[in-house]
Amino acid sequence: MTEQDVRDVLNGRRAQAARNDGAILAAARKVFVAEPDAPIGAVARAAGVGISALYRRYPSKEALLATLCLDGLRQFVAIAQTAREVTDPWEGFVEFLRGIVDADVHSLTVCLAGRFTPTPEHRALAMQAGALADGILRRGQQVGAVRADIESTDLPMIYEQLAAIRHSDAEHIRELRRRYLDVHLAGLRAVAISYGELTGRPPTQAELGARWNRTT
């Protein structure tokens, strides 16, 4: 076997490993969002890989859940960074919320919070995500586009409300979530303040973060 043959074999193995990993993560997201208590074997079956292949990449269910959460946080950050570059503050705010809702990253929050121990990487990404979201919101408020009595901790509650919309048809889920996001956006515009002040107080950062405390 030539040196090139060896490289081709190694590249082929790496490509296959990447395909397997992508299939595992996609399957895990689908399985655990539907049933957080599902065994890890259900993920292997849904991904079409052997359980040994799954365990070589993820030695435990907790490790798999932690990776899913990291992927969700990275996706959140990427969406926020793109929306931050939109020139118009209101349009950037709208693009941000629509991107987060379409990506459905908060289904992971609803389903996985408290099921694994967050790492320093999780916490660093969560802080980055929070800072980006807060910056997009404040920019909209500074120009009078977003109502001033909204706090950044209000936004996760909106994402989670919309994540609760479930249906057998994925495209219909997307349409319904977009429909009800439009209702939320109408209430988030600064002109909506004429309808009266919001009831109660927003959640605190501590209340949002407490959900990620490992449950026994």
For residue 76, name the pLDDT band (cuts at 50, 70, 90).
Answer: very high
Does residue 84 contact residue 133 with C-beta atoms inside 8 Å? no
The pLDDT, as a whole number, for residue 195 is 55
The pLDDT, as a whole number, for residue 143 is 96
158, 163, 69: which is closest to 115 by C-alpha? Answer: 69
Residue 215 to residue 213: CA distance in whole angstroms:
6
Answer yes or no: do 6 and 67 share one domain.
no
Does residue 60 contact residue 79 with C-beta atoms inside 8 Å? no
Tokens of 123: 């916490």
Answer yes or no: do 183 and 85 share one domain.
yes
The pLDDT, as a whole number, for residue 101 is 94
Summarize pLDDT for 181-215 with one digit per residue, the tens.
Answer: 999 999 999 875 555 666 677 778 887 777 677 66
Answer yes or no: do 122 and 74 share one domain.
yes
The mean per-residue pLDDT over the stretch 2-29 comes to: 64
The pLDDT, as a whole number, for residue 209 is 76
Of 17, 32, 59, the last residue of a domain is: 59
Answer yes or no: do 35 and 95 share one domain.
no
Answer yes or no: do 9 and 81 share one domain.
no
Does residue 155 contact residue 131 with C-beta atoms inside 8 Å? no
Residue 215 inside a domain? The answer is no
Q: How large a percentage of the chain has pLDDT more than 90?
A: 54
Q: What pTM was computed for the model?
A: 0.81
Helix, strand counts (H, E) of the chain: 10, 0
- Look up the domain containing 55 and give its range: 1-59
Of 43, 59, 75, the last residue of a domain is: 59
Answer yes or no: do 102 and 71 share one domain.
yes
Residue 112 to residue 44: CA distance in whole angstroms:
18
For residue 15, name the pLDDT band (cuts at 50, 70, 90).
Answer: low
Distances (CA, A) of 97 to 27, 53, 182: 25, 37, 10
Does residue 65 contact residue 115 with C-beta atoms inside 8 Å? yes
Q: What size, in residues, is the chain?
A: 216
Number of domains in the chain: 2
Summarize pLDDT for 56-67 with one digit per residue, the tens.
Answer: 889 999 999 999
Answer yes or no: do 24 and 123 share one domain.
no
For residue 216, name the pLDDT band (cuts at 50, 70, 90).
Answer: low
For residue 4, name the pLDDT band (cuts at 50, 70, 90).
Answer: very low
Residue 22 to residue 86: CA distance in whole angstroms:
30
Answer yes or no: do 67 and 96 share one domain.
yes
The pLDDT, as a whole number, for residue 10 is 44
Answer yes or no: do 133 and 188 share one domain.
yes
Residue 216 inside a domain? The answer is no
Tell which wins on pLDDT, 197 or 70.
Answer: 70
Summarize pLDDT for 144-167 with one digit per residue, the tens.
Answer: 999 999 999 999 999 999 998 887
Residue 115 inside a domain? The answer is yes
- Give the CATH number of the domain where residue 92 resides: 1.10.357.10
Answer yes or no: do 43 and 108 share one domain.
no
Residue 146 inside a domain? The answer is yes
Judge whether residue 7 has pLDDT over 60: no
